Chain A
Amino acid sequence: MSDTALHLNAARYTWGGDEFLFVEIAEGMSLAANFKANAMAAALGSRKLPGITDICPANASLLIRFNPDDLPPNALEEAVRGVEAEVAQMSQHTLQTRIIEVPVWYDDPYTRETGARFRSGHQRPEGNDLDFAAQENNLASPAEFISRHHESPWLVSMVGFVAGLPFMFQIVPQDQQLEVPKYLSPRTDTPALTVGHGGCFACIYSVRGAGGYQMFGIAAAPIFDPAQRLSNFDDFMIFFKPGDIVKFKPVDETEYRHIQELVADGSFTYRQAPVVFDLEQALAHPTEYNQEIMEHLNGH
C-alpha cells in the first residue's frame, strides 16, 4: 500500500485569516488524496484539542476552524503536521463505511424544465445538459452517459456547500471519469434533489437554490430532513457522511411516484449495507472491486 496514499507529497499549509487553517493535500483530485484528507480529519478529531470548532475534510484538502484565544495558531499547525505524519505511517488503508442505493429518475421533467429556463447562457444552447454531457465525453448518446453514471459506484468525497450536499467521486480509473464543465454563469434556481455534475464530481442538491453543475436527473427521496421525519434521519438531519459509497439506481416515473408516496407517509428507508472499503483494492482492480462492493447491497 505504501505506493498510493503515501505517494502524495507533503501537504501545503496556509491560513484563512486568524480562525482557519487550510491544508491542501493535493492540487488534483484522486482517491488517495481524498483518503488522506478523511484520515487526517479523523485523526485530528480523535485528539480532541480544545479550541478546534470545525474539522471539514474536503475532496483533496482539509479546512480547520479554531479559536486562536484557546489554541495558538502555531500549536495548531504543529498538531496537524503531527497528524499528517501519523497518517503517512498508516499501514492499512481501509474505511469502515456503508453502501447506499439512491433511486434517481434520470432525464426527468423538473431538471429539464429548469435547464430550459437557463438555456440562453449555456455552453450548448441547443438540447439539454445530458446531451451536452454525452457530447463532452465523446459518448454516442445521453442514454450511454446515464449508464456510465449509474454503473459504477461513487465515493462521497466531501459534504458541504449547503446543508448535507454530497460531492461524489466515481470509483473508476482516471481515464474513465466523466468530466463536464460547470455552467458558465451559475443558475439562480435548481430543484431540490437534482443530481448534478461539475468537473469530475457528482452531487445531489439537498435544497432548492443556486447551482452551477450540469443537471441529469432527480433523486426520489430526501437527503436533508431538518424535521427528522424519516427513520434514516433518527440520528441526524443530514444523511450523507464523507466515505459513504453511493450506487445510483435508475427509476422510471411510476417508481419515482411510488417512492414519493413512501416518503410522504414516512415509511421510506434507503437500502444500504455495511462495507469495508479498501483503497488498495479499489486502485489495483477497480472493475472487479466495484462489483464486489455493489454485491453487499444484495446481501452477498
Chain B
Amino acid sequence: MAIKITEPGLATTVQDTGRPGYYHVGIPQGGSMDQLSAEMANALVGNTPAEAVLECTYIGPRFTTDADAVIAVAGAPVDVLVNGTPREQWTRLELVAGDEVSFGMIHAGTRYYIAVQGGIDVPVVLGSRSTYALGAMGGFEGRTLKAGDTLDIGAAGSERHASAADFIDESLRPTFAKEITVRVMPGLYDHRLTEEGLDTLFSATWKLTPVADRTGLRYSGPSVSWKPRVQPFGAGSDPSNIVDAGYAIGSIQIPGGKEPIVLHRDAVSGGGYAMVATVISSDMDLLARSAPGTRTTFTPVTMEEALAARAEGKEIRSRIWGSAGQ
C-alpha cells in the first residue's frame, strides 16, 4: 500500500520520535516538532508512538491512496477534506482506495500531523525515519516532499494496535494560543548577562518572528545587555561569543544581545554564542506550536519544577494510550 503525493504542501516531511545518539557528530535529534500531536495521531490509527508520520507546515499536501487506509490528523487546527468533503481532526478517518485527501487553511499554530495506520515506511537511517534535510538524510530521500512522490505504508497497517483511541478528548488536546508562557531553566552562560539583562529576558514579552523553522525560533523584543569583559582566547570579540561549545537543544542564545534564538529539534549541535537558559523538555512542544507573532514570556523554573512538569506530560500520555499502551 502507498500514498501518492499530488501536491507537496509548503514543507512536508516524514518524522518520528527522533534520532538520539548522534549529536556528538552534529546530527540532531530531529523528529516531529510537536511530539505530543504526532503521538496522538498515531494513537488514533492504532500505531505505536514510534511510527513515522507526515509533518505538515502551514500548507499540507494533497494525496491519494491506492488501497483502503486509515488515517488521522492531529495538531494545529486545519480544514481536512476527503474528496472535497470536510472531515474531523482528532479522530480516525477511514479511506477507500482512490480517495483524495487535501487541506484548507491553518487556523492557528504552525504544524499538523498525518498518521497512517502502519506508519510511513521509509528506510531507517541511524535508528530513525526522521528527515534531516540539511544533511540530506533520513525521511523520503532526505528531503521535503515533492509532487509525484510515492510513500510506502508499513505492513503494520493490517493489525490495529490494541491501544487505539477512537478520538482524543478535547480536554487532552494541545492548545494553539497567541500568547504563551514557556518555562526555562536559567544556566549555561547566564552569568555573562548583566543583572538587568537577565531581568529583561524573564520579564519582557518576546514576539516570535517569521524566522522560525525546525532548527530554531528567533524572537524580537528589547535588547539585553552583556557584561563587558576581556574575551577568553579563541572565543571571538563580541561579549556574546564563547569558545565554540556544544548547544543544548532548547537553549536560548542572544547573539549581540538582540533577538533571542531558541534551538529546536533540528538544532545545530554547537557554535560560538553564549546560551543563557534552556526551555524545559516538557515545553518544547508548546514552543513548536507557536506561530510567528506569538507573544511569549520565558519564565524561570528549577530542576524540581522541570521534573514535575515532565511527570505531568507522562500522565497525559498514559491517558491517551491507556493501560495497553507502551
The answer to whether B142 has its CB under 8 Å from any CB of chain A is yes
Q: Cα distance A194–B136 when bound, in Å?
A: 18
The answer to whether B184 has its CB under 8 Å from any CB of chain A is yes
Which of B136, B249, B272, B307 interacts with A199 by CB under 8 Å? B272
Q: B228 CB to closest chain A CB, in angstroms?
A: 15
Would A16 and B250 be within 8 Å (CB), given that A27-B243, A201-B244 are in contact? yes
B residues with a Cβ closer than 8 A to A are 20-27, 125, 132, 134-137, 142, 184-185, 187-188, 232-237, 241-251, 268-272, 275, 278-281, 303, 306-307, 310, 314
The answer to whether A65 has its CB under 8 Å from any CB of chain B is yes
Which of A16, A54, A62, A181 interacts with B20 by CB under 8 Å? A54
Would A164 and B26 be within 8 Å (CB), given that A18-B306, A209-B134 are in contact? yes
Which of A28, A59, A179, A238 interacts with B244 by CB under 8 Å? A59
- A residues near B136, Cβ cutoff 8 Å: 207, 226
Known: A18-B307, A27-B235, A29-B232. 18 other contacts (CB 8 A): A15-B187, A16-B188, A16-B251, A18-B281, A18-B306, A19-B249, A30-B233, A54-B22, A59-B243, A61-B245, A68-B307, A158-B244, A162-B134, A198-B272, A199-B234, A199-B272, A200-B234, A226-B135
Q: A61 CB to closest chain B CB, in angstroms?
A: 4
CB closest residue in chain B, given A41:
B24
Q: Cα distance A272–B138 when bound, in Å?
A: 30
Q: Is the CB of A18 within 8 A of B185?
A: yes
0 or 1 for each of A148-171: is its CB under 8 Å from B? (1 = yes): 000000000011111111010100
- B residues near A158, Cβ cutoff 8 Å: 244, 246, 270
The answer to whether A118 has its CB under 8 Å from any CB of chain B is no
Q: Cα distance A73–B280 when bound, in Å?
A: 14
User: Which 4 pairs from chain A and chain B are nearest by CB?
Assistant: A16-B248, A63-B246, A29-B234, A28-B232
Q: Can you sample 11 A-B contacts with CB below 8 Å?
A: A16-B248, A17-B251, A22-B187, A28-B232, A54-B21, A54-B23, A54-B24, A60-B245, A65-B23, A169-B234, A226-B136
- A residues near B279, Cβ cutoff 8 Å: 17
Would A164 and B245 be within 8 Å (CB), given that A18-B185, A18-B310, A237-B137 are in contact? no
Q: Cα distance A114–B272 when bound, in Å?
A: 22
Q: Cα distance A61–B278 when bound, in Å?
A: 17
- B residues near A5, Cβ cutoff 8 Å: none
CB closest residue in chain A, given B250:
A17
Q: A168 CB to closest chain B CB, in angstroms?
A: 11
Q: Is the CB of A162 within 8 A of B188?
A: no
- A residues near B23, Cβ cutoff 8 Å: 54, 56, 63, 65, 160
Q: Cα distance A167–B132 when bound, in Å?
A: 21
Q: Cα distance A165–B23 when bound, in Å?
A: 12
Q: Is the CB of B232 within 8 A of A16?
A: no
Which of B21, B25, B247 interacts with A238 by CB under 8 Å? B25
The answer to whether A57 has its CB under 8 Å from any CB of chain B is yes
Q: Is the CB of A198 within 8 A of B236?
A: yes
The answer to whether A224 has its CB under 8 Å from any CB of chain B is yes
The answer to whether A231 has its CB under 8 Å from any CB of chain B is no
The answer to whether A53 has its CB under 8 Å from any CB of chain B is yes
CB closest residue in chain B, given A45:
B24
Q: Cα distance A36–B244 when bound, in Å?
A: 16
Q: A298 CB to closest chain B CB, in angstroms?
A: 29
Q: Is the CB of A165 within 8 A of B272?
A: no
CB closest residue in chain A, given B136:
A226
The answer to whether A14 has its CB under 8 Å from any CB of chain B is yes
Q: Is the CB of A163 within 8 A of B307?
A: no
Q: B19 CB to closest chain A CB, in angstroms?
A: 10
Q: Is the CB of A174 within 8 A of B26?
A: no
Q: B129 CB to closest chain A CB, in angstroms?
A: 14
Q: Is the CB of A17 within 8 A of B248?
A: yes
The answer to whether A216 has its CB under 8 Å from any CB of chain B is no
- B residues near A206, Cβ cutoff 8 Å: 26, 135
- A residues near B187, Cβ cutoff 8 Å: 14-16, 22
Q: Cα distance A111–B83 when bound, in Å?
A: 50
Q: Cα distance A199–B237 when bound, in Å?
A: 8
Q: Cα distance A112–B269 when bound, in Å?
A: 27
Q: Cα distance A276–B188 when bound, in Å?
A: 34
Q: Cα distance A299–B137 when bound, in Å?
A: 37
Would A17 and B243 be within 8 Å (CB), given that A54-B20, A159-B24 are in contact? no
Q: Is the CB of A18 within 8 A of B234?
A: no
- B residues near A3, Cβ cutoff 8 Å: none
Q: Cα distance A238–B137 when bound, in Å?
A: 12
- B residues near A57, Cβ cutoff 8 Å: 24
Which of B248, B281, B307 interacts with A63 by CB under 8 Å? B248
The answer to whether A130 has its CB under 8 Å from any CB of chain B is no
- B residues near A160, Cβ cutoff 8 Å: 23-26, 246, 268-270
Q: Cα distance A164–B134 when bound, in Å?
A: 12
The answer to whether A249 has its CB under 8 Å from any CB of chain B is no
Q: B310 CB to closest chain A CB, in angstroms?
A: 6
Would A161 and B234 be within 8 Å (CB), given that A17-B281, A63-B248, A238-B25 are in contact? no
